[in-house]
């Protein structure tokens, strides 16, 4: 072995190893070369081991010469690795190239359902007024859907709601599919301290099916609770909402007294329209169309939710989504909303990239 450590041999060995490293075409080839030269059983490692058999000056000289070869090999390995890694990165960037300037292809993206679009528009308007969005479950217990909302057991107003009942919960609670979004008022007041300003869009259910009713439909609820909010704020808020939503500046609006167990006083809001030839048109045409229920939150409701009714007050409103959507977008038949007909959706649906926004327009 010691014979192998002649200086001239080392010179040609160095050239051979460095050349073969420079010729490695892939990172795997390079790693194989590293193992073959510097690995446990590598050629240089073998020569290094042979140094032990030498003495004094000879050992120093041979050691220095071997180290030089080793440094050259290590340097060559690193240099080749840098080149191969760079090449690999470039190949990968080329392969995974994404042209972010390509236009989107909305035609292939499906359509936003008019119900979703209408809810998004309504939320956008109320968000502009400082409301945040709250949610609650579709399956409710009797307490949230009725009792906390001041419907005592056996109250006739419960019967007005054509409730779908579900099997009792394990703790014996009566369970229902929520008949309105008002239980989200209750959930919000129980879990948050005033001031409160929320809207709650979502699905609601009543056992009713004809030309103008479907067993599942949508509502959006609004709730404002603080120390000073009064009926004037309720009116201002809803009038502004209706004019922005329907995009009719002088849309006639009136409030009629009404009754809900959870508000006092209660009202319904109508918007001006005409009905000729079975078609409803919005505007100042002498006729009226009811679009929502509202009122000042009943003190009993505040108290049931743990809010001091001597200090806090506020308003609530609840509005269906389907009817305003039909009016705004000229959809003649309620039931088509839920038929999942893709041709219908193509016609009445909205482009996914046109997200409603009050500042830039609710719909384009």
Nearest C-alpha neighbor of 319 from the set 159, 121, 144: 121
Quick one: which of 182, 188, 229, 313 contacts ligand PHE (CB under 6 A)?
182
CB of 258 to ligand PHE, least distance (A): 8
> By Cβ distance, which residue is nearest to ligand PHE?
318
Tell me which residues in 300-359 interact with ligand PHE (CB under 6 A).
316-318
CB of 206 to ligand PHE, least distance (A): 9
d(CA 316, CA 336): 30
CB of 263 to ligand PHE, least distance (A): 5
Helix (H, G, I), strand (E, B) or coil at 245: helix
DSSP class per residue in 137-167: -SEEEHHHHTGGGT--TT-HHHHTT-PPEEP
| Letter string b/e over residues 267-296, b meaning 16 or more CB atoms within 10 A of that residue's CB | bbbbbbbeeeeeebebeeeebbbebbbbbb
Contact string 139-178 vs ligand PHE (x = CB under 6 A): ----------------------------------------
Neighbours of 153 (CB within 10 A): 9
CB of 246 to ligand PHE, least distance (A): 20
Q: With binding defined as CB under 6 A, does residue 293 bind ligand PHE? A: yes
Contact string 210-229 vs ligand PHE (x = CB under 6 A): -----------x--------
d(CA 43, CA 153): 93
Number of residues that bind ligand PHE (CB under 6 A): 11
Q: With binding defined as CB under 6 A, does residue 295 bind ligand PHE? A: yes
CB of 341 to ligand PHE, least distance (A): 28
d(CA 159, CA 151): 10
Neighbours of 146 (CB within 10 A): 28
Q: With binding defined as CB under 6 A, does residue 136 bind ligand PHE? A: no
Q: By CB neighbour count within 10 A (0-12 exposed, 13-18 middle, 19+ buried), where does 337 fall?
A: buried
* Contacts to ligand PHE by CB under 6 A: 180, 182, 221, 260, 263, 293-295, 316-318
């Amino acid at each position: 072995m010691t014979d192998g450590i002649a200086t001239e041999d080392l010179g040609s060995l160095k050239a051979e190893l460095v050349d073969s490293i420079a010729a490695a075409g892939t990172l795997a080839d390079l790693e194989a070369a590293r193992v073959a030269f510097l690995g446990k059983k590598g050629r240089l490692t073998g020569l290094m081991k042979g140094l032990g058999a030498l003495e004094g000056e000879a050992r120093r000289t041979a050691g220095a010469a071997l180290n030089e070869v080793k440094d050259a090999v290590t340097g060559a390995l690193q240099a080749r690795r840098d080149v191969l890694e760079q090449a690999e990165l470039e190949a990968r960037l080329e392969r995974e190239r994404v042209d972010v300037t390509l236009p989107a292809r909305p035609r292939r993206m499906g359509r936003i359902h008019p119900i979703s679009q209408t809810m998004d528009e309504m939320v956008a308007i109320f968000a502009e007024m400082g409301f945040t969005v709250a949610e609650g479950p579709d399956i409710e217990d009797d307490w949230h859907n009725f009792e906390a909302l001041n419907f005592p057991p056996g109250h006739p107003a419960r019967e007005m709601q054509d409730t779908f009942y579900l099997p009792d919960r394990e703790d014996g609670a009566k369970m229902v599919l929520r008949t309105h979004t008002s239980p989200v008022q209750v959930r919000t007041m129980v879990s948050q301290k005033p001031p409160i300003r929320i809207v709650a869009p979502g699905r609601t259910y009543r056992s009713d099916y004809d030309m103008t009713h479907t067993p599942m439909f949508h509502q959006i609820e609004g709730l404002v609770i603080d120390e000073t909010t009064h009926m004037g704020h309720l009116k201002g808020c809803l009038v502004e909402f209706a004019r922005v939503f329907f995009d009719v500046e002088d849309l006639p609006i009136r409030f009629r007294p009404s009754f809900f167990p959870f508000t006092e006083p209660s009202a319904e809001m109508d918007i001006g329209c005409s009905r000729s030839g079975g078609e409803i048109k919005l505007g100042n045409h002498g006729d009226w169309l009811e679009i929502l229920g509202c009122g000042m939150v009943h003190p009993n409701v505040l108290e049931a939710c743990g809010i001091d009714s001597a200090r806090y007050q506020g308003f609530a409103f609840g509005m269906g989504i389907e009817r305003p959507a039909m009016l705004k977008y000229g959809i003649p038949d309620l039931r088509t909303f839920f038929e999942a007909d893709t041709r219908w959706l193509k016609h009445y649906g909205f482009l996914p990239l046109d997200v409603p926004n009050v500042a830039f327009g609710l719909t384009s």
